[in-house]
Chain A
Amino acid sequence: AQSVTQLDSQVPVFEEAPVELRCNYSSSVSVYLFWYVQYPNQGLQLLLKYLSGSTLVKGINGFEAEFNKSQTSFHLRKPSVHISDTAEYFCAVTKGNTGFQKLVFGTGTRLLVSP
């Protein structure tokens, strides 16, 4: 079975500063990895995904993530955050190479961007 750990429940940061949100996963098989963002009272929006290939994945809104198989990590980064990036961020994993796409989510990291 797969599992995801997001160690930071909350990350405060100032506007225009860089940010990294950490995600570690556990799996005995190959995986697909995802980052989603959730704004208040809304559903989840996909930021980026890693399926295979290049370990550096670029997503929407200037976010990127790096898949590190040896560290079993998939940390999310943004070089300069905006106030509008304030939201909850979820890392998720699913088994790779299957048509069954059940996602296993971490508990989320709340990003708080202040002026």
Chain B
Amino acid sequence: NAGVMQNPRHLVRRRGQEARLRCSPMKGHSHVYWYRQLPEEGLKFMVYLQKENIIDESGMPKERFSAEFPKEGPSILRIQQVVRGDSAAYFCASSDGTPDLQPQHFGDGTRLSIL
């Protein structure tokens, strides 16, 4: 999936550590969405951000999870004090915000494994 860059592709953490996942949207896109995919499940919306603003975080767990999309640099999804249940694939998608152009552009994801 050219365009939306996510890194790292794989991330291993021990319980209690912090995980930082990065997403660089496609050039010209200022809207970023984070989704989580648990094993054998579909993607679940987590958060929608525009530059420097969180627009909707209704899918974010109440604790330990946070997201930001600064004026400069990638969007970051941060998970503090990770637990086994955080093991999943985390996908980022971007769009230019045009209503008819849905987030067609997904990154290849970060696969987070918690030991």
Residue of chain B at shortest CB distance from A110: B40
B17 contacts partner chain A, Cβ-Cβ < 8 Å: no
B61 contacts partner chain A, Cβ-Cβ < 8 Å: no
B85 contacts partner chain A, Cβ-Cβ < 8 Å: no
A25 contacts partner chain B, Cβ-Cβ < 8 Å: no
The residues of A that contact B108 with a CB separation of less than 8 Å are 41-43
Interchain residue pairs with CB less than 8 A apart (18): A36-B106, A41-B108, A41-B109, A43-B1, A43-B91, A43-B108, A49-B102, A98-B99, A99-B98, A101-B33, A101-B48, A101-B99, A101-B102, A102-B56, A102-B59, A103-B43, A105-B42, A108-B42
Main secondary structure on chain A at its contact with chain B?
loop
Partner of A102, one of B48, B98, B100, B106: B48
Say whether A107 contacts B41, CB under 8 Å.
yes
**Which A residues are within 8 Å of any B CB, using their own CB?**
4, 6, 32, 34, 36, 41-46, 49, 51, 90, 94, 97-108
Say whether B1 contacts A45, CB under 8 Å.
yes
Q: Name which of A36, A90, A101 has the most chain B CB atoms within 10 A of its CB.
A: A101
Say whether B102 contacts A44, CB under 8 Å.
no
Report the minimum CB–CB distance from A74 to chain B (whole Å): 14
Say whether A100 contacts B55, CB under 8 Å.
yes
Say whether B42 contacts A100, CB under 8 Å.
no
User: Which residues of B in the span 10-65 have a Cβ within 8 Å of any Cβ on A?
Assistant: 31, 33, 35, 40-45, 48, 55-56, 59
Partner of A46, one of B41, B91, B104: B104
Assuming A43-B91, A49-B104, what are 17 further A-B pairs, CB within 8 angstroms?
A41-B108, A42-B109, A43-B108, A44-B43, A44-B93, A46-B104, A100-B48, A100-B56, A101-B31, A101-B99, A101-B103, A102-B48, A103-B35, A103-B102, A104-B45, A105-B43, A107-B42
Q: How far is the CA of A36 from the CA of B43 in the complex (A)?
A: 11
Report the minimum CB–CB distance from B82 to chain A (whole Å): 21
Say whether A103 contacts B1, CB under 8 Å.
no
Say whether A43 contacts B45, CB under 8 Å.
no
The residues of B that contact A100 with a CB separation of less than 8 Å are 48, 55-56
